[in-house]
């Protein structure tokens, strides 16, 4: 159920509607749009009596939402969601492409800094690196943990890159939220509903990767779990699905990009590294992703992939990354996008998450 307010509705009228919804035992989610505010109602098992709502001051109409997701739907919010990072001009969603690059895992300070410097030089605004690694084998390298978070905070300070890193359970979620700029939830946790709800209670953007066999509806419902707790800054990420094919590790499903954009206002990135699992297919699929209309790219870069502790075969070299940036920068205007001009180092001062502030 969705309450659409009149264009001229006052903040007091909006608040009154929210209070009324909560008095009925439901949750109200005010979602300001360019023209007017819509208020999503969640928590209702069945029907909400629309009678009283329609008669409240400032209400334009009350509409039923047929899709199982509401807050993630364009019905509820027509304008694209643009996620901003205070103190910087980096965005995810909107006209500027978002480029997230870095190693699969933070292996040590030197490795991380070498890679960060190179991706920053090529124009990335976001740095990704695993601190907690969900590995198929319990005997594989599981990540450096808090030490990796500290290294990435230094990288943010030094290079102005915003930090994207994965949380794998409720405990690491709090740590990641404290140190990073974007909390990543991995494909294998896409339906870890407990984790989604916890992430929904935080106030940091969440990058949600599509599950290996998730349908579009399930993907948007996972986003809805986060949003239903009040965190509306969700970034979707296609990373390939599991099929019968064997020429790539997963099958990158780029048609989900226009499919998401039709149904949802949330931004969607594409990860051509996990989506193919093979270095020589990363550049073609990165170009294809941007051409399909994606809001950006999440890509694994390593200066010595043959020595990487994880995902070496799918990590590209820094010079390949530079070439990728050049190519997608040329494709961008064709799809009415642009590549931002890299980092403004003076923008960093205002950032409350600087590693220096911690010491």
Dist. CA 237–CA 253, nearest whole Å = 11
- Nearest distance in Å: CB 305, its own copies: 18
The least CB distance from residue 43 to its own copies, in Å, is: 7
Using an 8 Å Cβ cutoff, are 118 and 318 in contact?
yes
d(CA 18, CA 10): 13
Residue among 88 and 261 whose Cβ is closer to its own copies: 261
Q: Find the shortest distance in angstroms from Cβ 219 to its own copies.
A: 9
- At 95 the three-state DSSP class reads coil
Output 78 or 89, the one with its CB closest to its own copies: 78
- What is the closest distance, in whole angstroms, from the C-beta atom of residue 133 to its own copies in the complex? 9
Pairing of the two strands 91-92 and 296-300: unpaired
Of 87 and 134, the one with the shorter C-beta distance to its own copies is 134
Q: How far is the CB of 271 from its own copies (least distance, A)?
A: 13
Least separation, in Å, of the C-beta of 69 and its own copies? 8
| CA 20 to each of CA 13, 44, 56, 57, 127: distance values in angstroms, whole numbers, following the listed order | 11, 14, 10, 12, 43
Q: How many whole angstroms separate alpha carbon 276 and alpha carbon 356?
A: 38
> Shortest Cβ distance from residue 246 to its own copies (Å)?
6
What's the CA gap between 160 and 177, in Å, rounded? 18
Q: For residue 94, what are its two tokens?
A: 């909107």
CB of 253 to its own copies, least distance (A): 5
Cβ atoms of 84 and 91 closer than 8 Å: yes
The SS3 call for residue 113 is helix
Residue 292 or 320 having the CB closest to its own copies: 292
Q: Which is nearer to its own copies, 146 or 216 (CB)?
A: 216
Going by the DSSP 8-state scheme, the letter that residue 76 receives in this structure is T
Give the span between the Cα atoms of 175 and 358, in whole angstroms: 13
DSSP E strands: which ranges in the chain? 2-5, 27-32, 37-42, 59-63, 83-84, 91-92, 98-102, 126-128, 162-166, 182-185, 206-209, 234-238, 268-270, 296-300
Q: Which is nearer to its own copies, 163 or 226 (CB)?
A: 226
* Nearer residue to its own copies within complex by CB, 65 or 114: 65
How long a stretch of residues is the chain? 359
User: Closest CB to its own copies among 86 and 284?
Assistant: 284
């Amino acid at each position: 159920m969705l309450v659409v307010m009149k264009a001229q509705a006052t903040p007091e009228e909006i608040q009154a509607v929210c209070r009324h919804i909560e008095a009925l035992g439901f949750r109200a989610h005010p979602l300001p749009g360019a023209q007017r505010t819509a208020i999503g109602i969640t928590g209702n098992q069945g029907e909400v009596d629309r009678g009283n709502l329609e008669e409240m001051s400032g209400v334009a109409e009350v509409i039923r939402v047929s899709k199982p997701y509401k807050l993630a739907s364009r019905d509820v919010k027509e304008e694209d969601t643009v996620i901003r990072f205070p103190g910087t001009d980096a965005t995810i969603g909107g006209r500027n492409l978002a480029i997230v690059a870095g190693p699969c895992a933070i292996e040590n300070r030197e490795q991380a800094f070498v890679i960060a410097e190179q991706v920053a030089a090529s124009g990335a605004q976001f740095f990704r690196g695993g601190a907690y690694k969900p590995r198929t084998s319990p005997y594989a390298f599981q990540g450096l943990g808090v030490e990796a978070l500290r290294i990435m905070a230094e990288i943010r300070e030094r290079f102005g890159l915003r930090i994207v890193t994965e949380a794998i359970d409720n405990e690491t979620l709090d740590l990641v939220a404290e140190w990073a700029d974007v909390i990543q939830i991995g494909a294998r946790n896409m339906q870890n509903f407990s984790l989604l709800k916890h992430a929904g209670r935080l106030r940091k953007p969440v990058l949600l990767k599509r599950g290996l066999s998730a349908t579009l509806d399930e993907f948007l419902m996972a986003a809805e779990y986060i949003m239903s707790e009040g965190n509306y800054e969700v970034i979707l990420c296609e990373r390939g699905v599991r099929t019968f094919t064997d020429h790539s590790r997963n099958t990158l499903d780029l048609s989900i990009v226009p499919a998401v954009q039709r149904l949802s206002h949330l931004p969607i990135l594409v990860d051509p590294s996990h989506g193919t699992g093979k270095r020589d297919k990363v550049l073609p699929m990165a170009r294809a992703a941007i051409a399909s209309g994606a809001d950006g790219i999440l890509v694994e870069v390593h200066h010595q992939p043959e020595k990487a502790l994880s995902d070496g075969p799918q990590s590209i070299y820094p010079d390949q990354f530079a070439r990728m940036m050049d190519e997608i920068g040329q494709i961008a205007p064709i799809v009415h996008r642009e590549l931002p001009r890299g980092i403004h180092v003076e923008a960093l001062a205002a950032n409350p998450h600087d590693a220096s502030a911690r010491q």
